[in-house]
């Protein structure tokens, strides 16, 4: 089975992120859940983003990258929104990366060089989520990545909620989250040793 590092979103290591990790574990995968916020969780996205701003987005990302240092190289890097920062950097730059799973976010591949040959990635987001489709250019970055390699897949779900796969948050969409989970498990099965 695959070994995954899963990075949480801006609201912290919520019960919904833990539940998602448990779903992957039930399928037989090993999942590491670094806490980039030192145990802090936030009730709203705005509060979580404010914490990340005060801490420094670069510091948060570097914590995520450092969390992988003690782990083997043959990993799948996954992240929800803010957690895509370390997940994407590691997918693109750490030797031995097996794949990437980017939920609710995608950075331009140029941020970390070029996309590595033979490393598959899935990007998931809602088609009307303003954080994904408008504000940060994530959808444009995802489409550019898909256009640049046959290793990338983009999945859009109907709706406007950010963090729609986190069952502990109000924007949770059970139908879309189930499809995202199914696609994620299929992706991981293909990468399993």
Residue 136 above 80 pLDDT? no
- Alpha helices by DSSP H, 75-164: 84-93, 130, 138-148
Residue 139 Cα distances to 10, 131, 151, 152, 185, angstroms: 19, 9, 17, 13, 22
Displacement of CA 144 from its chain's centroid (Å): 18
Q: What is the CATH number of the domain that holds 19?
A: 3.40.50.1820
Residue 134 — pLDDT band, cuts 50, 70, 90?
A: confident
Task: Tell me which residue of 55, 56, 53, 124 sits closest to 87, measured CA to CA.
Answer: 124
Mean pLDDT, range 152-157, rounded to an integer: 98
Average pLDDT, the chain: 96
Residue 135 — pLDDT band, cuts 50, 70, 90?
A: confident
- Tell me the pLDDT tens digit for each residue of 42-53: 999 999 999 999
- Domain limits for position 159: 3-191
Residue 54 above 80 pLDDT? yes
Mean pLDDT, range 139-155, rounded to an integer: 97
Residue 169 — pLDDT band, cuts 50, 70, 90?
A: very high
3-state secondary structure of 92: helix
CA separation for the pair 146, 136 (Å, rounded): 17
pTM for this predicted structure: 0.96
pLDDT of residue 147: 96
- Tell me the pLDDT tens digit for each residue of 64-117: 999 999 999 999 999 999 999 999 999 999 999 999 999 999 999 999 999 999
Residue 166 above 90 pLDDT? yes
Number of domains in the chain: 1
pLDDT of residue 193: 57
pLDDT of residue 192: 76
């Amino acid at each position: 089975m695959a070994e995954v590092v899963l990075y949480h979103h801006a609201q912290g290591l919520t019960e919904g992120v833990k539940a998602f990790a448990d779903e992957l574990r039930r399928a037989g995968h090993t999942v590491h859940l670094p806490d980039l916020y030192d145990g802090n969780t936030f009730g709203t996205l705005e509060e979580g983003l404010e914490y990340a701003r005060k801490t420094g987005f670069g510091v948060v990302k570097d914590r995520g990258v450092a969390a992988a240092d003690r782990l083997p190289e043959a990993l799948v890097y996954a992240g929800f929104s803010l957690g895509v920062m370390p997940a994407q950097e590691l997918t693109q730059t750490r030797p031995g990366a097996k794949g990437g799973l980017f939920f609710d976010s995608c950075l331009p591949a140029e941020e970390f060089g070029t996309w590595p040959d033979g490393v598959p990635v899935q990007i998931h987001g809602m088609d009307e989520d303003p954080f994904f489709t408008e504000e940060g250019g994530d959808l444009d970055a995802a489409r550019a990545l898909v256009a640049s390699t046959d290793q990338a897949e983009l999945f859009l779900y109907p709706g406007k909620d950010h963090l729609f796969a986190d069952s502990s948050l109000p924007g949770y969409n059970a139908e879309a989250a189930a499809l995202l989970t199914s696609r994620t498990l299929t992706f991981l099965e293909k990468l399993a040793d």
